[in-house]
C-alpha cells in the first residue's frame, strides 16, 4: 500500500466522525455602486462537514457585564484541510438529527488553523449570554 493511498484511507476515516455542518463568513472589502469601498461579511463556505470539540481542560469563564451574564468558552473545530479558515472568521456550526435542526452555535476563529494531512483543527471562541 502506498503512502498516498494510506493517507486517503486515513482521511476518510476521520471524515466519518464529522457530525455537524458549518458556514464560514469573512469580513471583506467590496465596491459600492458609486465606486466607494466598504467592508461586509461574505459567506466563503457553506454546509461544510465538521466536528466540534472542547479544548483540553475546558476553560469556562462567566463574566457579569452590566445586567447580562456573559458566557465565554473555547472550542475546537475539526474539518477538511482543504477549507481555508483565517483568524477572525465568523463560524456558524449546526447539528441536524433526522434532517431536523437541533443545535446552532456561533463562534469566531481565534487563531490560524493547525493543518494535518487528514484534517485541520481550528481554535474557536464562543461568546453568549445566559
Q: What is the pLDDT of residues 76-129, one digit of tens each?
A: 999 999 999 999 999 999 999 988 999 999 998 878 889 988 899 999 988 666
Strand runs labelled E in 4-112: 20-31, 37-54, 60-65, 68-79, 90-97, 100-109
CB 16 within 8 A of CB 42: no
Query: What's the pTM value of the predicted model, to 2 decimals?
Result: 0.78
Mean pLDDT of 2-28: 87
Mean pLDDT of 29-55: 91
- Strand 68-79 to strand 90-97: parallel, antiparallel, or no bridges (unpaired)? unpaired
Which residue segments constitute the domains of the chain, with CATH numbers given?
Answer: 3-129 (2.40.10.370)
Give the model's pLDDT for residue 65: 56
pLDDT at 36 over 70: yes
CA angle 119/121/125 to nearest 5° reads 155
pLDDT at 22 over 90: yes
pLDDT at 38 over 80: yes
The more confidently predicted of residues 59 and 105 is: 105
**Mean pLDDT estimate for the chain:** 84
- Return d(Cα 93, Cα 40) in angstroms, integer: 20
Amino acid at each position: 500500500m502506498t503512502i498516498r493511498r494510506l493517507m486517503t484511507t486515513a482521511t476518510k476515516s476521520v471524515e466519518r466522525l464529522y457530525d455537524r455542518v458549518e458556514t464560514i463568513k469573512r469580513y471583506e472589502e467590496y465596491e459600492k455602486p458609486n465606486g466607494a469601498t466598504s467592508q461586509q461579511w461574505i459567506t466563503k463556505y457553506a454546509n461544510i462537514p465538521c466536528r466540534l470539540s472542547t479544548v483540553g481542560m475546558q476553560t469556562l469563564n462567566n463574566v457579569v457585564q452590566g445586567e447580562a451574564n456573559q458566557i465565554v468558552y473555547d472550542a475546537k473545530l475539526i474539518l477538511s484541510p482543504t477549507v481555508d479558515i483565517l483568524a477572525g472568521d465568523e463560524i456558524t456550526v449546526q447539528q441536524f438529527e433526522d434532517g431536523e435542526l437541533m443545535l446552532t452555535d456561533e463562534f469566531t476563529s481565534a487563531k490560524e488553523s493547525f493543518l494535518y494531512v487528514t484534517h485541520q483543527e481550528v481554535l474557536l471562541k464562543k461568546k453568549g449570554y445566559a
